[in-house]
Amino acid sequence: MHSFPDHLLKGHANFMAGRYAREKDRIRDLAEEGQTPTTMIIACCDSRAAPEMIFDAGPGELFVLRNVANLVPTYQPDGGQHGTSAGIEFAVKALGIANIVIMGHGRCGGIKAALNPGLKPLDAGDFIGKWMNMLGELPDQLVQNDLMTAGERQTALERISIRNSIRNLRTFPYVAALEAEGKLAVHGAWFDISTGELWVMDSSGDFIRPDF
């Protein structure tokens, strides 16, 4: 006996009858030969922002790390257990990935928590609070700006945070080195969970819609 959720079993049966049946050969080859994705996506856990959905990506295409609010810490080789750093290291060193995309999204609960520390049911003293501390004083500076609406501050911090993560990502020596050699590109993106639009970061740090 098992108590595995029914909706997951049904979903898996759909997968077997659908994509797996259609792409069986490719999926088996991928298993046999190993994955060779060219792109890593660092995304949020949010159920509305799955990279595979947003980029209509199939098996083998995207190496995906997802944490709360898609944050990247600075390079801290201190012996601690850094999950995000381990993912980046694996992608760059073991998989030789060519692109890393930090992908934020609208109405992000983690960013909201950072702008509203201690907002119930969360508690600033908990893991979320400490995790979002990775943004340092960025949220505080923004909260002081009462000229912007709550929604504008949220979008602003979502984008500021992506730029911050990109800066942090470049503190990894191998990321910086490969980027300098033109072998690795670092990108920012922001997904609008309502309109479905993808805004990508240009060289000035601004987010634009490339499909417009």
- Considering only residues 46 to 85 of the shown chain, the ones binding a copy of itself according to CB under 8 A are 46-48, 50, 52-68, 71, 73, 77, 79-85
Is 180 near a copy of itself (CB under 8 A)? no
Q: How far apart are CA 212 and CA 177, in angstroms?
A: 33
Is 115 near a copy of itself (CB under 8 A)? no
Is 121 near a copy of itself (CB under 8 A)? yes
Instruction: Map the footprint of a copy of itself across residues 26-45, applying CB under 8 A.
Output: 27-28, 30-32, 34-35, 37-40, 45
Contact 41, 104 (CB under 8 A): no
Minimum gap (Å) between residue 80 Cβ and a copy of itself: 7
Burial class (CB within 10 angstroms; exposed 0-12, middle 13-18, buried 19+) of 113: buried
Is 177 near a copy of itself (CB under 8 A)? no
Task: Rule CB under 8 A: choose which of 102, 111, 114, 138 binds a copy of itself.
Answer: 138
Three-class secondary structure of residue 63 per DSSP: strand
Task: Rule CB under 8 A: choose which of 111, 159, 168, 184 binds a copy of itself.
Answer: 159
Q: Which of 9, 162, 164, 38 is nearest to 97 (CA)?
A: 38
Instruction: Map the footprint of a copy of itself across residues 182-201, applying CB under 8 A.
Output: 185, 187, 189, 193-196, 198, 200-201
Task: Rule CB under 8 A: choose which of 22, 171, 180, 206 binds a copy of itself.
Answer: 206
Task: Rule CB under 8 A: choose which of 22, 118, 151, 180 binds a copy of itself.
Answer: 151
In terms of C-beta distances under 8 Å and separation of at least 24 residues, what long-range contacts does 152-158 make, across chains too? 153/115, 154/106, 154/107, 154/108, 154/111, 154/112, 154/115, 155/106, 157/111, 157/114, 157/115, 158/104, 158/105, 158/106, 158/108, 158/111, 158/190
The residue among 16 and 177 lying less far from a copy of itself, judged by its C-beta, is 16
Instruction: Map the footprint of a copy of itself across residues 2-21, applying CB under 8 A.
Output: 2-5, 7-9, 11-16, 18-20
Task: Rule CB under 8 A: choose which of 22, 93, 167, 183 binds a copy of itself.
Answer: 93
Q: What is the CA radius of gyration of the chain?
A: 19
51 alpha-carbon distance from chain centroid: 8
How many residues touch a copy of itself (CB under 8 A)?
119
Minimum gap (Å) between residue 40 Cβ and a copy of itself: 8
